[in-house]
């Protein structure tokens, strides 16, 4: 079997129209992104605004497919397209949650992304925040031990 170039992500599909979520296999775990397609000049590259970033575990509401179905029922007019990032089987659910938390934290002050994003940040990441970069420990050189 060929090796993936990515450690966390096994497969991805990007910028698919909303109605294509039914093509996804049940039980996919990973991160998904909901977008609203921008209207504009068709000659230019298509543009999409991030509306929401979420995660799904295999046993939780049918995986990513189940989460997209739920979003379509409740907030289908707010998004038009989606992307899916399926994680490898050896990636723990806690690691998926950490990825989602990081992305939601990045977008927490984005006006468009906050339309559906109730969690305004990633609490665990906020505990690590230290804006005094000069006080950070220096990284180890490759191959050296402390």
Q: Is residue 2 part of a domain?
A: no
Question: DSSP label at 128?
Answer: H
The series of mean pLDDT values per 10 residues for the chain, 146 residues long, is 74 92 90 87 76 80 87 89 91 89 80 59 56 64 56
Q: Is residue 4 part of a domain?
A: no
**Whole domain around residue 129: which residue ranges?**
9-135
User: How many structural domains compose the chain?
Assistant: 1
Contact 63, 86 (CB under 8 A): no
Token digits of residue 30: 């990973």
CA-nearest of 32, 108, 35 to 67 is 32
Q: Is residue 3 part of a domain?
A: no
DSSP character string of 41-104: -TTSPP-EEEEEEEEE-TTSTTHHHHHHHHHHHHHGGG--EEEEEEEPTTS-HHHHHHHHHHHH
Q: Is residue 45 part of a domain?
A: yes
Q: Is residue 94 part of a domain?
A: yes
Q: Is residue 146 part of a domain?
A: no
pTM of the model: 0.76
Q: Is residue 109 part of a domain?
A: yes
Q: Is residue 145 part of a domain?
A: no
In the prediction, which pLDDT does 20 show? 93
């Amino acid at each position: 079997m060929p090796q993936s170039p990515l450690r966390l992500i096994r497969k991805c599909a990007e910028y698919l129209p909303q109605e294509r979520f039914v093509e996804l296999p049940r039980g996919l775990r990973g991160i998904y992104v909901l977008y609203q397609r921008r209207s504009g000049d068709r000659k230019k590259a298509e543009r999409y605004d991030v509306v929401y970033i979420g995660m799904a575990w295999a046993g939780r509401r049918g995986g990513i497919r189940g989460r997209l179905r739920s979003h379509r029922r409740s907030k289908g007019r707010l998004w038009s397209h989606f992307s899916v990032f399926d994680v490898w089987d050896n990636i723990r659910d806690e690691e998926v949650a950490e990825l989602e938390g990081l992305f939601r934290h990045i977008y927490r002050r984005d006006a468009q992304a906050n339309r559906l994003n109730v969690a305004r940040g990633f609490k665990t990441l906020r505990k690590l925040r230290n804006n005094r970069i000069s006080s950070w420990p220096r990284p180890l050189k490759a191959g050296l031990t402390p």
